[in-house]
Amino acid sequence: MKPIKVGLLGIGTVGSGVFTVLARNAEEISRRAGRPITIAVVADKAVERAREITGGQVRITDDAYSVVADPEIDIVVELIGGYTIARELVLAAIENGKHVVTANKALLATHGNSIFAAAQKKGVMVAFEAAVAGGVPIIKALREGLTANRIEWIAGIINGTTNYILSEMRDKGLAFDEVLRAAQQLGYAEADPTFDIEGVDAAHKITLLSALAFGIPVQFDKAYVEGITKLTAEDITYAEQFGYRIKLLGITRRQANGVELRVHPTLVPERRLIANVEGVMNAVLVQADAVGATLYYGRGAGSEPTASAVIADLVDVTRLHTADPEHRVPHLAFRPDRMADLPILPMEEVVTSYYLRLRVEDKPGVLADVTRILADDEISIDAMLQKEPAEGEDQADIIMLTHRCLEKRINAAIARIESLAAVRGDVVRLRLEQLQ
């Protein structure tokens, strides 16, 4: 049967993995897809490097626009990244009637609605398994495997860089800055790690998972995003004393009045499987009504793990290449005319539990003042730890875990606690999820 011809845009870390795995497993992939899948052309500004990787086996160009316009190309694989040129190329490929496979979570989280609408209009597919959790097939699980279920919530460790940093801080008791430098030296963190450590990368990914889970448009601009830059080793230690570990989680949950969409450091009970995901690994926990909890675990980045997801999409698109567009799985799992209009809840409307750490003067009545403020705001304490002052000091730490309450209530209580004369500095506030 005639091969499916692929135009590969970008042959960096993931692109080279796609080329390598596709060549190495060509026979197996062809048996699964029903026909050969071949890379016909590679577009990359580093032409000589592209020739070296491909060994002269395919045509090389530095003009990506010529690839998306080439009538011989059936599927365009976009691995350039970013929001601008990648968006232009993806839309041009769609306009030219080509299917698209992409690993670009930032692009889809910000421009996905218009891209999916354009693809729907032209009757082509946009596949993006590699955009979330690398080689972990979480997109396919939500789009197809869990179709019978009403998804209740998703919580995921979906950024390997931050998970590595938190694992090292916990294991070695090191400060954030020190671990970040080590992660950069090992290649686990970029020279500019802002998207990772500030939670933006995880927010791109949970935005896509939320849309798939609940049948809503992608709404990255409404996500609450908080990174790990302010976390300290002492808070990680205190959390462990209560039986919790701190993970940067992407969380989305269906509520009666809307959908939660948030990324932030989170205390998780250490007995939960997801709390024991260490290093650069990713894990996504999905709670659904029929199947219950399911956990998806694996490498969330890297050349061949991500290539695995890209090629899985290539096989899917090849199988459905000639199918009636109406009979394909919708891009966001739900039919476009049946998308829900659920609002994204502002963070102040979210209900969860909290970890609070206060630095206070060591004198009578301080704890009573603090607990009175919490009681006035209807916030109950679940557990508390009061540390003795270090020798020669007159200040001590008080650490509290609260029961679930509305975020706006905890915000008001923290403001009042910080105004107490005996409280020194800002109150450290972290969120806590039982994930039951």
Number of domains present in the structure of the chain: 3
- Distance, CA of 308 to CA of 17 (rounded, Å): 8
For residues 220 and 292, membership in a common domain is answered with yes
For 110-257, where are the E strands, in sequence order?
126-127, 151-157, 224-225, 244-255
Predicted confidence at residue 392, as pLDDT, reads 67
- Both 103 and 52 in one domain: the answer is yes
Which residues are part of the catalytic machinery? 205
Q: Which tokens in the block code for residue 161? A: 């860089």
CATH number at residue 216: 3.30.360.10
Q: What is the C-alpha to C-alpha distance for residues 73 and 29, in angstroms, rounded to an integer?
A: 19
CA distance 77 to 312: 12
Q: List, as one string, the DSSP characters of 78-142.
A: E---SSSHHHHHHHHHHHTT-EEEE--HHHHHHHHHHHHHHHHHHT--EE-GGGSSTTS-HHHII
Helix, strand, coil in percent for the chain, rounding step 5: 40, 25, 35
CA nearest 214: which of 340, 344, 129?
Answer: 340
pTM: 0.95
> CA nearest 138: which of 312, 370, 384, 348?
312
Domain with 277 in it? 144-298
Structure tokens at 116: 């999916």
Q: Are 384 and 371 in contact (CB under 8 A)?
A: no
Are both 152 and 190 inside the same structural domain?
Answer: yes
* Gyration radius from the chain CA atoms: 24
Q: Same structural domain for residues 155 and 238?
A: yes
The answer to whether residues 148 and 293 belong to one domain is yes
Q: What is the CATH number of the domain that holds 322?
A: 3.40.50.720
Same domain, 87 and 178: no
- How long, in residues, is the chain? 436
Dihedral class, residue 173 (left if φ above 0, else alpha if ψ from -120 to 50, else beta): left
> Are residues 176 and 276 located together in one domain of the fold?
yes
One domain for residues 120 and 205:
no
Pair (175, 315) in one structural domain: no
Helix (H, G, I), strand (E, B) or coil at 20: helix
According to DSSP, the residues that pair with 294 across neighbouring strands are 286
pLDDT of 142: 97
Residue 161: HSE in the Cβ half-sphere, 13 Å Cα cutoff? 27
What tens-digit pLDDT sequence spans the chain (436 residues)? 799 999 999 999 999 999 999 999 999 999 999 999 999 999 999 999 999 999 988 999 999 999 999 999 999 999 999 999 999 999 999 999 999 999 999 999 999 999 999 999 999 999 999 999 999 999 999 999 999 999 999 999 999 999 999 999 999 999 999 999 999 998 888 889 999 999 999 999 999 999 999 999 999 999 999 999 999 999 999 999 999 999 999 999 999 999 999 999 999 999 999 999 999 999 999 999 999 999 999 999 889 999 999 999 999 999 988 778 888 899 988 999 899 999 999 999 999 999 999 999 988 889 999 999 999 999 999 999 988 877 767 889 999 999 999 999 999 999 999 999 999 999 999 999 999 8
How far is CA 114 from each of CA 106, 117, 205, 336, 422, rounded to the nearest angstrom? Answer: 14, 5, 17, 12, 53
CA distances to 60, 290, 357 from 149, rounded to whole Å, are 45, 6, 39
- Which residues lie below 8 Å from residue 190, measured CB to CB, with a gap of 6+? 161, 184, 196
For residues 151 and 265, state if they share a domain: yes
> Do 158 and 289 lie in a common domain?
yes
The tokens for 66 are: 């010529």
Stated as kind and residue range, the H or E segment containing 24 is helix 13-24
Cα separation, 133 vs 284, in Å, equals 8
CB 242 within 8 A of CB 401: yes
The alpha-helical segments, DSSP class H, found in 276-429 are 303-319, 366-376, 407-418
235 and 318 housed in the same domain: no
- Which pLDDT value is given to residue 154? 98
CATH of the domain at 359: 3.30.70.260
Q: How far apart are CA 65 and CA 339, in angstroms?
A: 33
Domain boundary residue, one of 267, 298, 329: 298
